[in-house]
Amino acid sequence: MKRLSLGIALVLLATACGGDSSTGSALARVRASGVLRWGGDVQGGEPYAFEDPSHPGRLVGFEVELADAIARELHVRARFVQNDWSNLVPSLDRGSFDIALNGLEVTPARSGSVTFTRPYYIFTEYLVVRADETRIHSLSDLQGRRVGTLASSLAWDMLRNVGADVVPYEGVEEPFQDLEHGRTDAVVLDDIIATRYGLNRPTLKLAAQVGDGYYSIATRQNDTDLARAIDQALARITRSGELRRILARSHIDSEKQARLATWTDQDTRDLVGTHSASHMSGAHVWLFIEGAGTTLLVSTAAMLLAITLGLGLALTRRYAPRPVALLAQVYVELFRGTPVLLQLYVIYFGLSNLSPHLQLAALPAAILGLGLNYAAYESEIYRAGMDAVPQGQMDAAAALNMSQWLALRRILIPQALRVALPGVTNDFIALLKDSSLVSVITVVELTKRMTITAVDVRSWFLPGLLCAGLYLAMSYPLSRLSSYLEKRLQGEP
Amino acid sequence: MIRVDSLVKKYGGRAVLRSVTFDIPRGQVTALVGPSGGGKSTLLRCMHGLEFFDGGTVKIDHAELTPGTSRKNRTAISAIRATAGLVFQQWHLFAHMTALENVMEAPIQVQGVQPDVALRKARALMDKVGMSHRENALPRRLSGGEQQRVAIARALAMEPKVLFMDEPTSALDPQRVGDLVELLRGLASEGLTLAMVTHDMRFVVDLADRAIVLSGGEIIEDGPPKAMLADPKDARTRAFLGLD
């Protein structure tokens, strides 16, 4: 018996060791497979890594050339792996690719979760304002002002440190568009993005250069040998002048890049620093509760709009003259048949392009977008509810000399709503979760708060748990209410 | 009180009422009888403006209804409904309201009666129809006979001069029919004009002053029920009464 259990222990140990050795050397694995997989997002666009407009499907950009050059140095081939930009680091961690190479700025938060190589590009943070702006000249002027940037970027950290009201964007075009329209007072982004997407607009100008930053290649924290090999390859490419030639072909070379040629390992250590992981704190929890408040506000207001409009649509489809009823039907099909994400984009970004009078702030736009969308679903629930009320009820109301409107208001609608109520509560729960979509139009609600915090504390676990807990705390009472209402409507009042 | 003149009603070209004419004087209890499909219920719905008709006129009190959807006709329908109450065969009590609320609803919402006045009146009517003990029950908790009594109280709350009833005995057992006869007799004695569609001849003989027999969309016989039962003139009446 003792011998048997010893045998099992040995087998387990061997398995454990075997598992360990297979994840041993990342460099050996890359060499053995002959392929260096690098992660990036083609949506980041020109000049990083993007589809050649004249040859769709072919990837070009200075990072494509850089990846090829590094792979050559390692005697392997480079293979691009498409990945959403905001999730490059988590995807690197779970092994979707060997390195992340896509305009990744060295920030304290990222330095704690990956191993950065030496930088391959030195960028400048540009502070961009409207051409007629006279109040803003430096970073310190931004305190308390609405300033747009990409979430979790270096600029994001800088702006939070000076106490700006930071508006997070996911694309590079929208921050400048909103600045033009006066939704924000300034945008801080790196010079590559600012030059291509911001300063090409005559209505905007450069107010100041507010600091330098570095693009580096990220490897997994434990893949030290791969990190070292890539760092050395990059050093050779830099010293030989090839890096500057690559940058020059994409028209982003500058005098500042000369600094890269004399870059030392000590410089890398100074840049990356030693960052102890920050932890979830009371301040984070408070921000989460704020985010939950925004989620609740957006969903409740949107639901009220959806209920009112949905009822109007259902009544119109049943009782209005045919052409008007048809319009209501078109509305329902249109809003049910297109993604709510698209509707939010159109309402927030699209309308403000049409006319400045149609420009909505982010929160009203979020409420309007979700409300208009859910109204289509609500109207179908109410229509089913109205169909469930027997015709005799309306006959009886007519026989008592009630007008049609009075009969609808007092007899049909109250009964239809009772039938519809469980469905409406269900929709409210769905809306509560769908409201996370409004982060694309810069509203920081609960889910967005969670992703921002996850980057800060370099872990998804606690923020994810807290986020899930808060959603449940909001939706569970609703589902209890729903089943209570269902029971109550079947029984006595 | 009621005058129906040459009333014609067609469903897709098929005439279900062909030139029906009769008068009902104030205070009379009249039964519209006849075989199923004879046009009785349709006649009642036409008289109350729930269905349009194709020819003739309906006059109740001072309101005259003609074919079509003109503004004048809509005013006439409203005036007729103010004069005449209707109790449906299936009663159609408002399902989301208690018995008492059913009785109070129209006086408050349509006539603008003060809620406390409407409540007092509704309680008195519930007492009159013997339903005081169930005033807070929802319709689905009431038996057919109970729902009918609440429906009568609901119609009476509008203080009509005429009460129409569609098949009032169809959901009642014989004991309850007796109670209903007693209730309706009392109402008639207070001067209410009663017109009801039925094919329950026993009920007609017990209650009605007059029976109008409708068959194939026409009036085939008209007279006091007892005499009619003893000596029907028309062969179709004999067949309906089961005398052959």
Q: What is the pLDDT of residue A408?
A: 95
Asked if residue B13 is part of any domain, the answer here is: no
Which of B92, B93, B167 best tests the A interface by mutation, with the highest count of A CBs <10 A? B92
Are the beta carbons of A396 and B78 separated by less than 8 Å? no
Gap between the Cα atoms of B207 and B228, Å rounded: 14
Residue A402 region by backbone torsions, left for phi larger than 0, else alpha for psi between -120 and 50, else beta: beta
Which DSSP category does A258 fall into?
G
Tell me the HSE value of A115 on the side-chain side, using a 13 A CA sphere: 15
Token output for A337:
């048949």
Does the CB of A410 have a partner CB in chain B at under 8 Å?
Answer: yes
Distance from CA of A338 to the nearest CA of B (A): 37
- How many other C-beta atoms can be found within 10 angstroms of the C-beta atom of residue B235? 11
Residue type, A190: D
The pLDDT assigned to A451 comes to 85
Structure confidence at residue A331 as a pLDDT band (50, 70, 90): very high
Chain A residue numbers touching B50 (CB-CB < 8 A)? 395, 398-399
| Beta-carbon separation of A390 and B138 below 8 A | no
**What was the pLDDT predicted at A283?**
82
- Average per-residue pLDDT for chain B: 92
Select from A348, A364, A361, A367 the least CA-distant residue to A304. A367
- Answer whether A399 sits within 8 Å of B85, measured CB to CB: yes
- Chain B residues 99-118 within an 8 A CB cutoff of chain A: 105-106, 109-110
Provide the domain count of chain B: 1
Please report, for chain A, the start and end positions of each structural domain, with discontinuous segments joined by +.
24-121+214-272, 122-213, 282-489
Please give, one letter per residue, the 3-state secondary structure of B169-209.
CCCCCHHHHHHHHHHHHHHHHCCCEEEEECCCHHHHHHHCC
Task: Give the structural domain span for B225.
Answer: 28-38+84-240
Please name the fold of domain A282-489.
Answer: MetI-like fold (1.10.3720)
Size of interface A-B (CB pairs under 8 A): 55
Residue B44 or residue A110, greater confidence: B44
Q: Does B138 touch chain A (CB under 8 A)?
A: yes
pLDDT class of A274 with cuts at 50, 70, 90? low
Same fold yes or no, A24-121+214-272 and A122-213: yes
Q: What is the tens place of the pLDDT at every residue in B198-238?
A: 988 889 999 999 999 998 899 999 999 999 888 888 888 88
pLDDT of residue B136: 95
Q: A-contacting residues of B 144-173, CB under 8 Å?
A: 154-155, 158
CATH number of the CATH domain containing B174? 3.40.50.300
Q: Is the peptide bond before A47 cis (omega within 30 degrees of 0)?
A: yes
Residue A488 phi, psi dihedral angles, 5° rounding: -65, -35
In a domain, B103, yes or no: yes
Q: Do A393 and B95 touch (CB under 8 A)?
A: yes
Report the topology of domain A122-213. Answer: D-Maltodextrin-Binding Protein; domain 2 (3.40.190)
Q: Give the C-alpha separation, B4 to B84, whole Å.
A: 14
Q: Which fold has domain A24-121+214-272?
A: D-Maltodextrin-Binding Protein; domain 2 (3.40.190)
Contact in structure between A125 and A154 (CB atoms under 8 Å): yes
Interface test with A, best of B46, B94, B156 (most A CBs within 10 A): B94
Using CA atoms, how far apart are residues B158 and B153, in angstroms rounded to an integer?
9
Residue B228 lies in a domain: yes
- A395–B85 CB contact, under 8 Å: no
User: Are A401 and B106 an interchain contact pair (Cβ–Cβ within 8 Å)?
Assistant: yes
Residues of A in contact with B90 (CB under 8 A): 392
Residue with tokens 């050649």: A52
- Helix/strand/coil percent split, chain B, to 5: 40, 25, 35
**Nearest chain B Cα distance for residue A44, angstroms:** 58
In a domain, B234, yes or no: yes
Give the per-residue pLDDT at A459: 77
Burial of A359 (0-12, 13-18, 19+ CB in 10 A): middle
pLDDT-based confidence at residue A278 (cuts at 50, 70, 90): low
